Amino acid sequence: MRKSFVAGNWKMNTDSRSSVELAKAVVAGSAGLAREKVTVAVIPPFVYLPAVVQAVSSSGVAVGAQDVYFEPKGAFTGEISPGMLKDVGCTYVLCGHSERRHVIGESDELVGKKVTVAIGGGLLPILCVGELLEERDAGKTEQVVARHLKTGLAGLSAEKVAAVTIAYEPVWAIGTGRTATPQQAQEVHAFIRKLLAQMYDANLAREMCIQYGGSVKADNAKELMAQEDVDGLLVGGASLKAEEFVRIIQAAA
């Protein structure tokens, strides 16, 4: 059985004090939950990673980074390597979040390189895929998701792909309050799993965790998680409020 996985992407929010407070509140709120049922991660801005790692230490709450660069070191001003993330205690890393694809301008190929080096560096990538509203309206959802998936996982063996979590985040649902319906989410999640089975094998596809993200709240988390192929949630805005995030974790557990 696939284990649920809830991650809170804090994006460019919090400060040195509130990041630690939020991390501690997530630890306290999720302390009683069965760890074998749900994995919990928080994903703060780079600069607060060490403090947040310390705040969650020995709690079972994992920490992830929002991005990574594909070189190990050198003259890449402003970038952060997989080794650096590992060094400060990160377990997960987001690759190809839609804000990096569509605001910062990352290409599919760049995202694929990041996934590969993240795994090589001992991190567990969360590969984000998802269509824009105009792509959905044009009936291109599956085409876009397939492209993100194939370029994101390019060149990886089945053994390595097993380290990856896929996050389906329809761009039109992010930060808009317009959540995909559970049926819309399930349709795309089932498509992703089918594609993974074609690209690798059915057993691996069955084991892989596929998160949904986009306006997840405490009051829609349960219904989304009830879908057969929705294994977890990647939460933005609602992960900044400890109480609401904990309710989302409870819904997923």
The region, left, alpha or beta by phi > 0 then psi within -120 to 50, assigned to residue 130 is: left
Say whether 125 sits in a helix, a strand or coil.
Answer: strand
Q: Is residue 214 within the footprint of ligand 13P (CB under 6 A)?
A: yes
Give CA–CA dist 96/167, Å, rounded.
Answer: 10
- Contact pick of 56, 213, 242, 244 for ligand 13P (by CB under 6 A): 213
CA distances from 132 to 26, 71, 103, 201 (A): 31, 29, 12, 29
Give the active site residue among 135, 169, 189, 244: 169
Phi and psi torsions of 163, nearest 5°: -80, -10
Judged by CB under 6 A, the stretch of 85-93, 148-156, 196-204, 229-237 that binds ligand 13P is 229-237
Return the SS3 of 161. Answer: helix
Binding to ligand 13P by residue 102, rule CB under 6 A?
Answer: no
- Position 234 contacts ligand 13P (CB under 6 A): yes
The answer to whether 169 is a known catalytic residue is yes
Kindly state the number of chain residues that form the binding site for ligand 13P, as judged by CB under 6 A.
14
- Helix (H) / strand (E) element for 167: namely strand 165-168
Provide the token pair at 48.
């607060």
Is 72 a binding residue for ligand 13P by CB under 6 A? The answer is: no
Angle, helices 108-120 vs 141-152, to 10°: value is 40
Q: Is 134 a catalytic residue?
A: no
Q: Does 174 bind ligand 13P (CB under 6 A)?
A: yes
Which run of H or of E encompasses 62? strand 62-65
Catalytic residue among 97, 99, 148, 189: 97
Q: Mask of contacts with ligand 13P, 124-163, x by CB under 6 A? A: ----------------------------------------
Q: Token pair 């703060």 is at which residue?
A: 44
Question: In the bound complex, what is the minimum distance in angstroms from residue 239's beta carbon to ligand 13P?
Answer: 7
Choices 21-29, 143-151, 201-209, 231-239; region in contact with ligand 13P by CB under 6 A: 231-239
Residues that bind ligand 13P (CB under 6 A): 9, 97, 169, 174-175, 213-216, 234-238
Residues catalogued as catalytic: 97, 169
